[in-house]
Amino acid sequence: MAVQNNLNKSNTKPTKWEQVYEDEETISIWKYNSNITTAGPVEVEIKYKKGYVPPKPVKKKTLGDLAKEAQKAAKQEAKLKKSKS
């Protein structure tokens, strides 16, 4: 029986492992633990390489901003039509 138990232990999958992904700007380390969950990684660690400059955040326009721009465009069109006639 002891021999069979040793064989079964050698065929089991590891319960903890890491997967490393690397691209031009970052190194991502995905840590898995099948004792906790089998649905996905337990932890993801992202390391940025030297010289990485994050992109500047773009300000999102609100409905009010879009309405003001539409009003300005309408006024400019009206002025152009008025000046042509």
pLDDT in tens, 49-69: 998 888 889 989 899 999 999
Q: For residues 69 and 61, give the distance between their C-alpha atoms in angstroms, rounded to a whole number.
A: 10
**53 neighbors 37 (Cβ within 8 angstroms):** no
Q: What is the pTM of this model?
A: 0.52
- pLDDT at position 14: 82
Q: How many helices (H) and strands (E) does the chain have?
A: 2, 3
pLDDT per position as a tens digit, 2-34: 555 555 556 677 899 999 999 999 999 999 999
